[in-house]
Amino acid sequence: LAALERQVFDFLGYQWAPILANFLHIIIVILGLFGTIQYRPRYIVVYAIWTAVWVTWNIFIICFYLEVGGLSKDSELLTFNISRHQSWWSENGPGCVRKEASMSGIKGLDNHSYISVIGCALEYRYIEVMHSSFQILIALVGFVYACYVVSVFTEEEDSFDFIGGFDPFPLYHVNEKPTNLLFKQTYLLLFPTGFSGMEIMYK
């Protein structure tokens, strides 16, 4: 649900890189849930590996909006340099008032407008940081749970007894003696050694 909520607001802000990342995350989460319900440890392992990638991505988003390491929140990195859109929260955050002023009097800027946002109770980059931090927390919890489920499934597979397969003397013992030897033993039980004629005929 948290990923879906984030996906909606990234769509509203035309943030194409986060949109793709969120889409992959939703698919992997569904795969992990399917693996848990259907007892497929491999799917859960895939989810556990993805959580590490997801945490790394969200750390990058935090660094991006906090402008760590030369990153700039005003760059077009998250939109693949195909648009100048920013986070939807930059104009629609809590308490934000969006004002639009015409710039028709300035040469070369006719039919354009200047948009200013004032009165925001919380700057949009901190909202994005909070979103990413929450995703990291959920991913860490999911990783621990995935490891636990895989360990439980592995223990169940190791302790499962395939029709006495782990017993020293199985209940259903298969006699591996050749068929002709078994027939000979049966014949000797039915006809004692005193019947020499019968033995000659058998031979």
Q: What is the pLDDT of residues 108-132, one digit of tens each?
A: 544 556 567 777 888 889 999 999 9
Q: Rank 5-9, 49-53, 99-103 by mean pLDDT and report only the highest.
A: 49-53
pLDDT at 6 > cutoff 70: yes
| Better-predicted residue by pLDDT, 186 or 56 | 56
**Could you tell me which residues are beta bridge partners of residue 144?**
none
pLDDT at residue 20, rounded to an integer: 95
Q: Where are the beta strands (DSSP E) in 23-158?
A: 97-102, 113-118
Residue where the block lists tokens 């499962």: 160
Q: pTM of the full predicted structure?
A: 0.67
Q: How far apart are CA 190 and CA 188, in angstroms?
A: 5
Whether 89 contacts 127, CB under 8 Å: yes
Q: How far apart are CA 66 and CA 85, in angstroms?
A: 18
Q: What is the DSSP code (8-state) at residue 174?
A: P
